[in-house]
Structure 1
Amino acid sequence: MNTGSYYERIDEHRFKPTPHAGGAWDPGELHFSPLGGLVAHALDRYRAARPDDGLALARISYDILGRLALDECEIRVETVRPGRTIELLEAVVLVADRPVVRARAWFLATLDTAAVAGGSGERLPDPETLAPWRMSDVWPGGYIASLDVRPVAPPQQGRTTAWVATPLELVAGEPVGPVASYLALVDTANGIAVRQPPTEWMFPNVDLTVHLHRRPEGRWTGLDTTVVFGPTGQGLTGTVLHDVHGPVGQAQQILTVRPL
């Protein structure tokens, strides 16, 4: 087994997770974050097999349909809405022939709008100037243990801003694009600003939706995250997403909140 990646490719559509992809509440489950990046990588490869159309990923939404077993998976991609300036793709992840994730991604035309760009907000401090934080002191699991986490300030209950990076490849020995690499870290947001100890409460997300107004660059994913728990078992993790140049978009995750 390659120990420097989250996944190993089996064939064109199937992948095997390594222990680094392990989840937090159950060692026999996947953490969704690297799987989210893997889905984006599958979308990139699907599009790369066609002539370059200049479209860019603007939104991807993932619905988590069931338990994500730490087992090999298959990813199938199809075009839902073709177009020269707007395209919608869908990817389905299967484990043991059962759909466990369904993702839809909008790709939009790119053109020069620099003259009117604005409104995104301020940059975060340089991650290289910040001290690391042992997120594994809060969470178990192979994925969390693999991360380099640099909080801008000490993490607070339900509110944290932090940079996240990893030294590992997403897929062993395989080039992965910058957007897929970036998205492979976004689901970490639900774990950096916990409202209650994960040893006493569960609050897994059943979805993840990411909107991007700019293509992220570099190895760091910046997460400016707020977590809200409602009074009837639902919660929401909202994040302004950054790269080292500034904000790139937003992410939302709906949570099911319950005591252990």
Structure 2
Amino acid sequence: MRDACCVSSAAIRGDGSDPVTESYYERTGECSFKPTAYAGGAWSPDEQHFSPVAGLVVHAIDGHLAKRPGSGDLVLARISYDILGRIALDECEITVETVRPGRTIELLEATVSIGGRAVVRARAWLLASLDTSAVADSPHERLPAPEELSPWVMSEGWGGGYVSSIEVRRTPPVRRGRTSAWLSSSLDLVAGEPISALASYITLVDTANGIAVQQDPAVWMFPNVDLTIHLHRQPVGGWTGLDTTVTFGPSGQGLTSSVLHDVRGPVGHAEQILTVRPLAGG
């Protein structure tokens, strides 16, 4: 069951005016979006940073579900993204398909395409929302509150429009590849459109690979080729918390692992597999 478009056409701006609030994307059609300079990547200025792409996919899934009665009883519990190639800083289209329908368990697939070529595929498991508060528990300690940490100017070590758009508050790293941080952004995901707390939260998760740097990114390249997020609770609030560890192996692979937090405590985990390679002339 493929959804030919991701959001109702009523959400499209039809007056041709510029967005009032700065954003990562502007809608250009029922399921197409144009990235702004704020979506620019850290490894190359003419590519999109994957973080806002990930949030945009969740926004498209929200639109897909909003068209169906009764979908509010399901919540996104896992989303796994595969990055199939270079994500150019160009207009993209997102389609959403229901792969496995169900009243208590459902599987969706979203595809991001640029110029007719798929650049990202994501699969999301939705699970029934029930009251299990009597047994809710996590072994992970809460992070210090955002206001307890000092601001970190991430753009001093990383380039790109996305990195320049976010606020970061980070604990001082005790060693390479290990730190925790809070992130927030004042920008809209899509100009003039409300988004869910989940889409807003996930928009910042992929930043994890840049906050706990294992090696100097001017000497070594270590982009991720995927992102998998598992949630045991739906996040709330305007901050995304990342308690992150980055590991480099001896044969060109690495792993960025994060315990995810919101201001109320832990909400899940994120994993990113890395391709590690030296930069020419580094």
TM category (shorter chain) comes to over 0.9
**In the alignment, is residue 210 of structure 1 matched against residue 226 of structure 2?**
no
Out of 218, 222, 225, which is 1:199 matched to? 218
> 1:208 touches 1:252 (CA, 8 Å); kept in 2?
yes
| TM-aligned CA deviation for residue 121 of structure 1 | 1.9
| TM-aligned CA deviation for residue 115 of structure 1 | 0.6
1:77 maps to what in 2?
96
1:13 maps to what in 2?
31
> 1:155 touches 1:161 (CA, 8 Å); kept in 2?
no
* The structure with more radius of gyration: 2
What do residues 169-213 of structure 1 show as CA deviations (whole Å, max 9, x unaligned)? 100010000001100000000000111111111100000000000
**In the alignment, is residue 33 of structure 1 matched against residue 61 of structure 2?**
no
1:176 maps to what in 2?
195
Task: Name the SS for the 2:193 alignment partner.
Answer: coil
Amino acid in structure 1 at the alignment position of 2:230: H
Gap runs ≥5 in structure 2: 1-17
How large is the RMSD of aligned CA atoms in angstroms?
Answer: 1.1
Out of 145, 158, 166, which is 2:177 matched to? 158
Instruction: Sort the Cα spacing of 1:35 and 1:114 in 2 relative to 1 into closer, same or farther, 3 A.
Output: same
Amino acid in structure 2 at the alignment position of 1:86: I
1:119 maps to what in 2?
138
Out of 132, 136, 151, which is 1:132 matched to? 151
Out of 230, 240, 244, which is 1:221 matched to? 240
Q: Percent identity?
A: 68
> 1:80 touches 1:89 (CA, 8 Å); kept in 2?
yes
**In the alignment, is residue 244 of structure 1 matched against residue 279 of structure 2?**
no
What do residues 6-55 of structure 1 show as CA deviations (whole Å, max 9, x unaligned)? 00001111000000000011110000000000000000000001113300
What do residues 50-85 of structure 1 show as CA deviations (whole Å, max 9, x unaligned)? 113300000000000000100000000010000000
Amino acid in structure 1 at the alignment position of 2:150: A
Matches of 1:175 and 1:120, distance apart in 2: 34
Matches of 1:69 and 1:163, distance apart in 2: 27
What do residues 116-158 of structure 1 show as CA deviations (whole Å, max 9, x unaligned)? 1112422111102322100001100000000100013347410
Matches of 2:175 and 2:36, distance apart in 1: 31
1:102 maps to what in 2?
121
Task: Name the SS for the 1:30 alignment partner.
Answer: coil
Matches of 1:119 and 1:164, distance apart in 2: 22
Out of 112, 124, 133, which is 1:93 matched to? 112
> 1:38 touches 1:184 (CA, 8 Å); kept in 2?
yes
Instruction: Sort the Cα spacing of 1:230 and 1:154 in 2 relative to 1 into closer, same or farther, 3 A.
Output: closer
Which deviates the most, 44-53 or 177-186? Answer: 44-53
Matches of 2:211 and 2:243, distance apart in 1: 10
Amino acid in structure 2 at the alignment position of 1:65: L
Amino acid in structure 2 at the alignment position of 1:5: S
> 1:120 touches 1:247 (CA, 8 Å); kept in 2?
no
Instruction: Sort the Cα spacing of 1:55 and 1:65 in 2 relative to 1 into closer, same or farther, 3 A.
Output: same
Amino acid in structure 1 at the alignment position of 2:228: T
Gap runs ≥5 in structure 1: none
Amino acid in structure 2 at the alignment position of 1:21: A
> 1:21 touches 1:30 (CA, 8 Å); kept in 2?
yes
What do residues 77-129 of structure 1 show as CA deviations (whole Å, max 9, x unaligned)? 01000000000000000001100000000000011001111124221111023
Matches of 2:251 and 2:227, distance apart in 1: 20
- How many residues are aligned here? 260
